[in-house]
Amino acid sequence: MKRLSSAVETDLSKPSSTTEGNYDLITFLERYRTSFNGLTLIFSLFFTITLSAQQPQKKYVLVIHGGAGTILKSQMTPEKEKGYTDALNEALEKGSAILNQGGSALDAVEASVRILEDNPLFNAGKGAVFTNEGKNELDASIMNGKTLAAGAIAGVTTIKNPISTARAVMEKSPHVMMTGRGAEQFAKEQGQEIMDPSYFYTEDRWKGLQRAKQDDAETIIVDSITKQSLLKQPENKDYKYGTVGAVALDQHGNLAAATSTGGMTNKKFGRIGDSPIIGAGTYANNKTVAISGTGWGEYFIRLVMAKTISDMMEFGKMKLKPAADEMIMKRLPALGGDGGLIAVDKDGNIAMPFCTEGMYRGYVKEGGKKVVLIYK
């Protein structure tokens, strides 16, 4: 009995061959499941990484300018050049961050222009030039290429960031353009930042006004032989005018343009240039192009500069570069004007032509590499 009992105990304490087989199968399946989960995770990560590498980042483009004129490296101090370069880079960084996150072209151009309006180096906002009466009168406009909606203000003296008020005109009123005190009242009601006019004073711009007055006094001469006025304002090519602007194409395929300026030094009688004129200094249309101009505004208005380029592209089937070059490099100087512009078309191609010695400009595309240029 003891021997039988001992055998039974031995059999019970030790699994049968069938039971052993079941244990081995369970162990195998458990190990296989663990390995399978690991392989699944590895393949999943590999697929995700591969897919990301194969899908390029969605296209976006931002182009900015800070004015065109007689900008010579020989006349630029290293400190001032760095100041301009840093400011342009900051504006590009601000706008491109919005585009990189999938934000709108409208938000990007407004944000970029606000940076330049707040910098006294540029003739817009804080750095605006003085009128003949010693005031700072500001103009700005913005346009949505998707809807062709637009907003503009002109002749304002108290609005810190005119470009934002121009956008408010576009989005929060039934109008396209407002001027003077009415625009300022509208800005106040919309919660725009209002400043005392003294905020816009800068010593460099005040000295510029004194130089312009002296030059005008010296050139108001009528040639006794030709009977032609010598008031061609050659000083325009240096310190008399300037503008800032931005154009963008966002990841959704929408275009936008924005322009802001203090106008022309020593301007009189409420003069308004091309910057707040939709179709002249600013234009955007998703079918074609977004443009912001800078230069002698009277000629940009007469040429309907920005809209003409868009029409050359839409109806004349021209590419952006030849259309922009035709207007800036040929037709503008042929009339006696000068200046430049920035543009981006619906496919992300850019143009930055100018017929002056230089133009503060820069651009950035998807990938984030910024390019800033000043001279020819």
With cut-offs at 50, 70 and 90, classify the pLDDT of residue 9.
very low
**What's the token pair of residue 109?**
């151009």
Average pLDDT over residues 125-147: 98
pLDDT in tens, 73-98: 998 999 999 999 999 999 999 999 99
* pLDDT of 38 higher than 90: no
Structure-token match 């143009």, residue found = 351
243 is a catalytic site residue: yes
Q: Rounded to whole angstroms, how far apart are CA atoms 124 and 154?
A: 12
| pLDDT above 90: percentage of residues in the chain | 76
pLDDT in tens, 169-196: 999 999 999 999 999 999 999 999 999 9
Secondary structure of residue 341 in the 3-state scheme:
strand
* pLDDT of 34 higher than 90: no
CB–CB of 150/307 below 8 Å?
A: no
pLDDT in tens, 215-265: 887 765 544 344 443 333 444 444 556 799 999 999 999 999 999 999 999
pLDDT in tens, 304-337: 999 999 999 999 999 999 999 999 999 999 999 9
Q: Which of 243, 259, 265, 294 is catalytic?
A: 243
Instruction: Give the amino acid at 361.
Output: R
pLDDT at 11: 46
CB–CB of 249/288 below 8 Å?
A: no
* Top-confidence residue, 229 or 274: 274
- Strand 61-69's sheet: what is its strand order? 177-179, 150-156, 138-144, 255-261, 244-249, 61-69, 358-365, 370-375
**What average pLDDT is seen over the chain?**
87
Secondary structure of residue 44 in the 3-state scheme:
helix
* pLDDT of 7 higher than 50: no
Structure-token match 């208005």, residue found = 301
**What's the token pair of residue 205?**
């711009």
pLDDT at 44: 56
pLDDT at 315: 98
**What's the token pair of residue 55?**
């899908």
pLDDT at 331: 98
Provide the CA 136 distance to its chain's centre, in angstroms.
Answer: 24
Which residues have CB under 8 Å from 246's CB, separation 6+?
A: 62, 63, 64, 65, 91, 95, 108, 109, 112, 113, 257, 258, 292, 342
Structure-token match 């370069």, residue found = 85
pLDDT at 37: 60
Contacts 24+ apart (CB under 8 A), 145-149: 145/105, 145/254, 145/255, 145/256, 145/257, 145/284, 145/285, 145/286, 145/290, 146/254, 146/255, 146/286, 148/284, 148/285
Superfamily covering domain 61-375: (Glycosyl)asparaginase (3.60.20.30)
* pLDDT of 132 higher than 60: yes
* pLDDT of 59 higher than 60: yes
Domain boundaries, the chain: 2-54, 61-375
pLDDT at 27: 63
pLDDT at 177: 98
* Top-confidence residue, 18 or 338: 338
Structure-token match 């407002």, residue found = 178
Lowest mean pLDDT among 8-17, 101-110, 172-181, 184-193: 8-17
pLDDT at 217: 78
Query: Between 105-117 and 78-100, two packed helices, what is the crossing angle to 10 degrees?
Result: 160
Taking the model in full, what pTM does it have?
A: 0.83
* pLDDT of 197 higher than 60: yes
